[in-house]
Structure 1
Amino acid sequence: MTCPPPATDRLRTTQTAVSFALPLLIAAALLLLAREPELRLSVPLMTGLTAVIMALLALILYRGERHPFSWCPALILGVALALRLLFLFAPAQLSDDIYRYLWDGGNLLRGVNPYTAAPAAMTPPDGLKAVHAAINHPEYVTIYPPAAQVLFAAGSAIGGTVTGLKTFLVLVDLVLCGLLILLLRRLQMPVWRAVLYAWNPLPVLEIAGSGHVDGGGMALFLTAFLLLLTCGGKRTGAACSGAVFAAAALVKLFPLVLGPVLFLIAPRPRRLHFLAGFCCGLALLSIPFLPDLIRIRESLGAYARNWEFAGFAFNTLRGATGSGSFARLALVAVLLLFVAALTSRVPGLPNAPNDAASAKQGRHALRACYAITMALLLTTPTLQPWYALMLAALLPFAAGPAGIVLCWTVLLTYRVQIPYFILGQWIESPPVTAAVFLAPAAAWLASVLSRRLGEKSGISAPCGN
């Protein structure tokens, strides 16, 4: 008789098979979706396939905490690239924001300030006529800040086409994936956790598919965070971190809510240097667009007062009070209180180099960023699916059931595309809006109860929200 293989050998064989099968299954699901000629008519299939992928990512997180995966950075980035290539050359179907990007970037390359006038008030040159005709809300001056304009111009320089701009944004997104790996190592966390973003269907669809710029903002935010961890104890390091964070905030304004965390984790003697770098970064990026940059206030004001989509908390509060203005102000107050409560617990980095202490405090700070981002998404009156890219980029550091669920439920809001594409009617679904909010809340509650039951029974459970 032959002896059965040791348990460790069986476990190793199982882990190898799982490590090989998981990326293949994720790629197969996205390949099925990429074969659809019109995603706006394939929303049910998209939500089903992405649900499978998010379940696989949850399995990766659960199993990886117990039996770590041995995926190397090259494999993680290679699979990430392959997934993005599936959608790179397809037209942007789920969103038409990229045409505004091309319009702004093309004008900037021609030496025209994109804040000078709204597209509707401008005569397009020959090379931008098709782009001009596809811009949404052409009556408004661009709402995108100066750093975003720089990215638009860089992407528009690659042929001035949708594919060229998406190619540039995908490259930036892959840089973001690389930054995640570097930061995970710096924080003494396993590298395999980077797949929670790199293989996540949300950035694949929203950046490679629709060409959204949000990945650029998060790449700059993580760069600023990494600079603080590595050289924040020096004047130039803290100042450079502040300047890079200013650039992140001027790609999309949402990262501004994470500014207090960066400021507080900077070593105490260097916080003023961080603030000075931030102010200098704002000035250097904004001055070239003055005085016309002031006109962005009109577009931002209209967005803040009038825009709403998939905001369950906003809809509920407005229905209870009868006032949309009150609901917006109340939710802003709730968010600010939440930010204040979380940042008050964030410890500063040590003045003297200490890798272990820096890693611990860095992990604590990123968990705070994750919680703040979750609160932002659940309280904003307007929750477009690509807004959740900010949360997805933080999943590798603080992932839990609520975050994974929210990164999927936001895709349910694309249901609105079906009647809009067929009938030209924008009909939001209250049950979908409720699910986007309540599903992650239920997942968080279930994880808390599970963790408490596990503690009572002596069984540990992965941390996260």
Structure 2
Amino acid sequence: MQVKILSYYRLHKIPILLALASILFYYTFAYHLVRTDFVKLITLATALFFICYKLIQFEKWNFKFLLTAGILFRLVFLCVEPMLSQDFNRFIWDGELVLQGLNPYLQTPDTIVELGKISINNAAHLYASMGEISAKNFSNYPPLNQLIFALAAFFSGKSMVGGIITMRIIILLADIGVVYFGRKLLTHLNLSSHLVFWYFLNPLVVIELTGNLHFEGVMLFFFIWSMYLLSQKKYLLAAPILALSIAVKLVPLMFLPLFIRHLGIKKAVPFYVIIGTTILVLLFPFYSPEFINNYATTIGLWFNNFEFNASIYNIIKKVAEANGSRDWETIKAFGKISPYVTIAMVLLFSFLRNNKTITNLFTSMLWVLTIYYFISTTIHPWYIIFLVLLSIFTKFRYAILWSAAVFLSYWAYSNPDFKEHLGILTIEYIAIFSFIIYEILRLKRQNLLYPKKKLLN
């Protein structure tokens, strides 16, 4: 046994040392990083992305090594509170309400604290730590997410460590599920199965999902499972699984029209009916007359009130400021227009592009979500993770670059007032737009980007 271990070490010495270095860097990220220390944050992120690239380069056919490395990276964060996000406090708060049979969509934390009629474990700490914006608004997390929060609250106890560990284990298992179905789908599409590790070993994925407890990974697990079933022509089984993905995060909702041309009308109708029915069943325990209005109001904040790491919006805002417009006037006007632009874009890709193959379907999803992010006023770093997963099933790789460049947006956290640095955001988006243009031109030269057809045919 000892001889085998030594032999394995000699054969994989450099990747092993790189993996150990990553563990050290993730440990520093988890336990010794203050989010106001931007220089340290960006240095660690840069080092981790470099090592991620080298690990995949050296060991791309060594599935067990890369899977084990990815799991170990995530276990580093197991017991520590997130350093870059405070959202987990609201997760446990909502979970406590669900455990008590209360609807988290009907009262804001501010209202609950003012009334003082509900007893919640660690209420003072959760309320003080979730942030002012979260405290004054209704919950915006879909129903399946609420059930996960309830599970976390059940195990949280007085220290909350149990709740954090519970959420981390769920997110870790979801990421392993993404690898499982992602590899199967890549193999089915005759693509290199190691591409899934651009998701699993991606530092943004490790830090923002397992580290900061965002549930995009759980959404993506159900999403990629559904897409695999769809590739196997099992669309009736794929439908409820896709509904579970939507019930974790709403993002896959915008992809639904894309399935019309992929499935055809006869198959699309039962597909949509099953999705709608599944979502209604999950919503039923939370439904009340006030639910729709409260939920719509909270979701509307993302279009009309919040701004972070925006691209096109920041350009429009600067032009508007030069013409005497105030910030709140600009975002209100932009927020009214952007949903219609999004709808038009989704319809364009749904009916003017051939989505018959799974690869074309993934490409359409990638562009729909990319354009949506470009016109959005708020792009948190973890939003890019969906693009990373979509991209590995296409010929485009700009999402991987974006997953690294998006760490620049954390400059805002180095300021007490969270003010963004437009120069730094400009660097981020120039890099992304430039690489997108490069990829489009490269693929056109190679006749790989819509061969012998116009852009949207």
Q: Same fold (TM over 0.5)?
A: yes
Q: 1:271 to 1:104 in 2, by over 3 A?
A: same
Q: Deviations over 1:20-72 (max 9, x none)?
A: 645752552352242251341443233233234434555678x69xxx93222
Q: Secondary structure at the match of 1:196?
A: helix
Q: In terms of mean alpha carbon deviation, does 365-374 or 196-205 score higher? A: 365-374
1:313 equivalenced with 2:304 (yes/no): no
1:290 corresponds to:
287
User: What is the aligned residue count?
Assistant: 415
Q: 1:408 to 1:451 in 2, by over 3 A?
A: same
Residues 9-24 of structure 1: pairs in structure 2 closer than 5 A: 21-22=14-15, 24=17
1:257 corresponds to:
254
Query: Normalising to structure 1: TM-score of the pair?
Result: 0.81
Task: Supply the AA of the counterpart residue of 1:70.
Answer: W
**Identical pairs, percent:** 20
Residues 302-381 of structure 1: pairs in structure 2 closer than 5 A: 302-321=301-320, 322=325, 323-344=330-351, 347=354, 361-381=357-377
The answer on whether the counterparts of 2:105 and 2:139 sit within 8 Å (CA) in structure 1 is yes
Q: Deviations over 1:173-205 (max 9, x none)?
A: 222222212222222222111110010001110
Q: Deviations over 1:138-168 (max 9, x none)?
A: 1111111212212222333333532332222
2:409 corresponds to:
413
CA distance in 1 between counterparts of 2:304 and 2:105 reads 20
1:29 corresponds to:
22
After superposition, the CA RMSD in angstroms is 2.8
1:243 corresponds to:
240
Q: 1:69 to 1:81 in 2, by over 3 A?
A: closer
The answer on whether the counterparts of 2:174 and 2:221 sit within 8 Å (CA) in structure 1 is yes
Q: In terms of mean alpha carbon deviation, does 272-281 or 443-452 score higher? A: 443-452
1:132 corresponds to:
127
Q: Deviations over 1:357-416 (max 9, x none)?
A: xxxx21221122222222222221101111112112223223644211111121111112
Task: Supply the AA of the counterpart residue of 1:389.
Answer: I
1:431 equivalenced with 2:423 (yes/no): yes
CA distance in 2 between counterparts of 1:17 and 1:328 reads 58
CA distance in 1 between counterparts of 2:302 and 2:346 reads 22
CA distance in 2 between counterparts of 1:17 and 1:441 reads 42
Q: 1:80 to 1:60 in 2, by over 3 A?
A: closer
1:143 equivalenced with 2:140 (yes/no): yes
- Deviation of the 1:19 alpha carbon: 7.3
CA distance in 1 between counterparts of 2:367 and 2:82 reads 31
The answer on whether the counterparts of 2:152 and 2:164 sit within 8 Å (CA) in structure 1 is no
1:70 equivalenced with 2:64 (yes/no): no
The answer on whether the counterparts of 2:304 and 2:336 sit within 8 Å (CA) in structure 1 is no
CA distance in 1 between counterparts of 2:195 and 2:12 reads 13
Q: 1:180 to 1:264 in 2, by over 3 A?
A: same
Task: Supply the AA of the counterpart residue of 2:93.
Answer: W
2:6 corresponds to:
none
Task: Supply the AA of the counterpart residue of 1:138.
Answer: A
Task: Supply the AA of the counterpart residue of 1:342.
Answer: F
CA distance in 2 between counterparts of 1:106 and 1:333 reads 37
Task: Supply the AA of the counterpart residue of 1:418.
Answer: S
Q: Secondary structure at the match of 1:310?
A: coil
Q: 1:418 to 1:335 in 2, by over 3 A?
A: same
CA distance in 2 between counterparts of 1:134 and 1:281 reads 34
CA distance in 2 between counterparts of 1:383 and 1:440 reads 14
Q: 1:325 to 1:179 in 2, by over 3 A?
A: same
Q: 1:341 to 1:363 in 2, by over 3 A?
A: same
